[in-house]
Chains A and B, each alone.
Chain A
Amino acid sequence: MITIDAKNTRFDSLNETIRNSNDDVEIVNCLGQRFIGAGLSNKSLTIKGTPGNALGAYLNGANIEIYGNVQDAVGDTMNDGEIIVHGSIGDAAGYAMRGGKIFVKGNAGYRAGIHMKAYKEKIPVLVIGGTTGSFLGEYQAGGIIIVLGIDSKKNIVGNFPCTGMHGGKMLLRSTCDKISFPKNVNTRAATKEDLDEVITYIKEFCKCFGYNESEILNEKWTLVSPDSNNPYKQMYVQN
């Protein structure tokens, strides 16, 4: 593994060094450099600091682990690989993500999982340990979003979740009593079978961040899925 001190380094030269390395890469003193690991397929990156926007955009199989917070648009249109964040993430995480997994210990900003999609075996997964901002899963077309709300006193998601959602599913570790969902989705208490379908992702999350799996599972969960009878009714356009 090579170590790069990113202090005072521009994003383009940093990314070029990463691309040209035949080895795994550790970045220290990372501060705001954007597009890190864009399109990367065959490496592991470890980042210490605060990477810039669009971390792991178009990621194509590489693994990225970040010790710090992550800014906006992490995993934009990512295709494959894993992003593990030991902190919180900004807005629009996993934008149009089409494969791979993102695990976040902390909270997510607005529009997490916006327009995630899936096709056959390509099923993207986004797991948030804390809570999320408004518009979670906006226009979600596929894939799985899991929100755990660990140690949180706030609502597990902000306002207007699932606006325009028409595919995929969401599992929220809460009864969601105080949350109003739009008419284009159905919500119900999740069963053991529902949780069994995503258990591998919950296990992986617990392994990443050192949580006890049975404590995480042992809560009331809500399953959200699109109402296929009314697929496109949404807040911006009534049709």
Chain B
Amino acid sequence: MYKEGEVRIPSGCAISAVISRYGNKMTGEKIIESMIPMHDRSNGLGGGFAAYGIYPDHKDEYALHIFFNDKYRIEECERILKDNFEITKAEIIPTRKIPEITDEPIIMRYFVLPFASLLKSLQLDEKEFVVRVVMKINTEVNGAYVFSSGKNMGAFKAGGFPEDVGKYYKLDEYEGYAWTAHGRYPTNTPGWWGGAHPFGLLDYTIVHNGDISSYDANRRFIEMFGYKCTLQTDTEVITYIADYLVRRQGLSFEETASVIAAPFWKTIKNKPEKEREKLKYLRMVFPSLLITGPFSIILGFNGGLMALNDRLKLRSMVVGEKDDKVFIASEEAAIRTMDINAENIYSPMGGEPVIIKVKEGKY
């Protein structure tokens, strides 16, 4: 098959999410259902989900989800894993065989902890260390791809329509306090399992509807900091930008939104002085991380979600709530599938982040 760089596919997408502000657990059933009314936003070339709080028995270990093209790649990849991590559990991710999902790779799950002695000698913090190992595998082991690498969370993705992908991965048997979902309609790159959303690094995951025009400018900047964009897809670069700004630069999620969906200078000029100075500062320090072109994204992280539209709002996104739950989706119909009585339905403005955090201590 042709991969990224060998073929360009011109073409939309569907995104959906739910989170419980009190950390109440939900199975994947509702989030899967929410993708059904948006079926026609995808074309069957990719679907996926991210789930938070699903591995309580291993919550302090990094859960690595890895695709392998064949069993020979497993050995090569496990050598790298064993050099760097204590592996507490290795297993095949359970799936349902259904006719809608074919051409499956081998899909493994490892719960791992970095060797403390290695961290000490390399003088790296745990997360940075994990990022480097993930990048190493994804760039050096041809035929192995780490697609999820956070603690107590996981991404699940495949070629196919999202509702089938959910069924395939038995997501009705997982329980999480937050879920995101994606239905893919690939625009520039071929649909294969690795290229489906969510994209994840550590516990940061992105589902994205859109087609950013600043990809190369963003990629050139972010690759200076050790990130390797292996898939030529815009969503991958957004994931790395989120990791860079939030984890490495220590920006708040609001500030991160002001970098990637920076307001126009004209809009900044009319803001109160303190806000104006801050927005100016962020635009001047991180000009290469401004993302232009249409997007609506949901960034998942341990303990919360952030939804954001491009500043011109060239893609749709709707937010609603009911009791402890907040819903986000490309279409209101998806929200009403999760709860027909959802309230306070509204569309955030372009560039206005919606940040929902689970109550401290509840996740």
Contacts and interface: CB of A to CB of B under 8 A. Distances in A.
Given A52-B37, A69-B345, A109-B347, A32 B334 contact: yes
A91 B347 contact: yes
Interface string B329-363: 00111101100000001010110000000000000
Interface in B281-336: 312-313, 316, 318, 331-334, 336
B78 interface: no
B88 interface: no
A72 B312 CA distance: 15
A32 B331 contact: yes
Contact of A50 (B270, B312, B316, B336): B336
A72 B334 contact: no
A32 B349 CA distance: 22
B: interface residue count bin:
10 to 19
A141 B136 CA distance: 55
Nearest to B347: A109
Nearest to B318: A90
Contacts of B336: 31, 49-50
A110 interface: yes
Contact of B347 (A33, A34, A53, A133): A133
Given A32-B37, A90-B347, A159-B267, A133 B313 contact: yes
A71 interface: yes
Given A109-B347, A133-B347, A52 B313 contact: no
A52 B333 contact: yes
Contacts, number: 55
A77 interface: no
A50 B349 CA distance: 21
A43 B267 CA distance: 46
Interface string A37-59: 00000000000011011000000
A68 to B, nearest CB: 9
A31 B349 contact: no
Contacts of A71: 316, 331-333
18 contacts: A11-B40, A31-B333, A31-B336, A31-B337, A32-B333, A32-B337, A34-B40, A49-B336, A50-B336, A52-B331, A52-B333, A53-B331, A71-B316, A90-B332, A91-B316, A110-B347, A133-B347, A159-B267
Smallest CB-CB A-B distances: 8 pairs: A32-B333, A32-B37, A110-B313, A31-B333, A50-B333, A109-B347, A50-B332, A72-B316
